[in-house]
Amino acid sequence: MTVYPANSSVKVIMEESTENQIVLQEVDLGASGVYKCEVMAEYPDFLSDSAEATMTVVVLPDEQPNIEGDVAGHYAVGDTVNLNCTAAPSIPAATLVWYINDQLAKGEYLQNYETEKLSDGLIVSRLGLKFQLSQSDFINGELKLKCTATISTLYHSSDEHSQQDPTARVVQTRPEEGSLVTPTDLPSASASDGLIKRLLALHFILIVFVHLLR
């Protein structure tokens, strides 16, 4: 087997390589490119065949994507959601996807930005999400926003923001039989006064009735 390097940064480990595969050492971004393998028959035919393929060196993000914007407060019906999702630097650029309550965000909600290439060659991708909240966006009173970053089958990560509808009404239920009654379940002051007056009247009638019997 003979190797004809087209790039000085590519180092082939000859003792570990065979006619069917090659092993590269200290692969860096410069190792990306087109690799060609040629097979040649010996004398007297000297027939040959070759094939080539492109190899891409991948640099995976070292962090999960990050949702940026007003996520510290609470959104309510009628508010405008305006967020950005930023992927950590990588090669190639990560593919970003927004989800609203586990459903793909509509295309008109998305804001696409050009990727940013850093000085070290790594690429940062961003995707915006902007839409006005309606009551239907709160499923059982909860809103879930999620952004995922993917690079082929090698990398998949996400960031998520979840909150309850701050304007949702709290439904109060009667206490079950045998349960403790809290002070908030007792009659109001006006109702108590009315009850006391009725008891006093009944007590007075009973006293008069006993007196007449005598």
Is residue 49 located within the same domain as residue 86? no
Identify the helix (H) or strand (E) that includes residue 95: strand 95-100
34 in a structural domain = yes
Is residue 30 located within the same domain as residue 112? no
Is residue 159 located within the same domain as residue 70? yes
Tokens of 6: 């087209």
38 in a structural domain = yes
Is residue 117 located within the same domain as residue 154? yes
Tokens of 3: 């190797």
Whole-model pTM: value is 0.64
Is residue 79 located within the same domain as residue 154? yes
Is residue 77 located within the same domain as residue 136? yes
Where is pLDDT greater, at 212 or 165? 165
209 in a structural domain = no
96 in a structural domain = yes
pLDDT in tens, 85-101: 999 999 999 999 999 99
Tokens of 111: 């804001």
Q: Which amino acid is at 32?
A: S
193 in a structural domain = no
Cβ-contact 3, 12 below 8 angstroms: yes
Is residue 45 located within the same domain as residue 19? yes
Range of the domain at 42: 11-55
Domain tally, the chain: 2
* pLDDT at 213 exceeding the cut of 80: no
Is residue 42 located within the same domain as residue 100? no
Q: Which of 98, 115, 119, 116 has the alpha carbon at shortest distance from 107?
A: 98
Q: Which of 5, 43, 45, 12 has the alpha carbon at shortest distance from 26?
A: 12
Q: Which amino acid is at 124?
A: V
* pLDDT at 2 exceeding the cut of 50: yes
Where is pLDDT greater, at 144 or 212? 144
Alpha-carbon distance of 106 to 122, in angstroms, equals: 29
Strands 103-104 and 155-164, sheet pairing? unpaired
Q: For the residues of 99-144, what is the DSSP string, one character each?
A: EETTEEPPGGGEEE---EE-TTS-EE-EEEEEEE--GGGSBTTEEE
The CATH code of the domain that includes 118 is 2.60.40.10
Confidence of residue 132 (pLDDT cuts 50, 70, 90): very high
Confidence of residue 134 (pLDDT cuts 50, 70, 90): very high
Is residue 49 located within the same domain as residue 75? no
Mean pLDDT of 141-170: 86
